[in-house]
Amino acid sequence: MGGPCDEVFEGKTAEEVANMGGQHIMSSTDAAHKPMREQMAKSSKEEKDKWMVWFKGEWDKK
């Protein structure tokens, strides 16, 4: 999903895949994922909602 690694997340819904990606990033400890961890940690609920809208749009293009 365009992250710092080649991890592929499979799910039936955009929410499912987004949650898996989020958990993967938050459970990482390496430097490659650090910018994304910090981005997620400081995002407000509004920003996360916006991202989810974008992600669902990308998902629907498939």
**C-beta separation of 4 from 33 below 8 A:** yes
Nearest approach, Cβ of residue 33 and Zn ion (Å) = 6
26 binds Zn ion (CB under 5 A): no
5 binds Zn ion (CB under 5 A): yes
* Dist. CA 51–CA 24, nearest whole Å: 17
8 binds Zn ion (CB under 5 A): no
Q: Find the distance separating the first CA and the last CA of the chain, reported in whole Å.
A: 13
7 binds Zn ion (CB under 5 A): yes
Contacting positions for Zn ion (CB under 5 A): 3, 5, 7
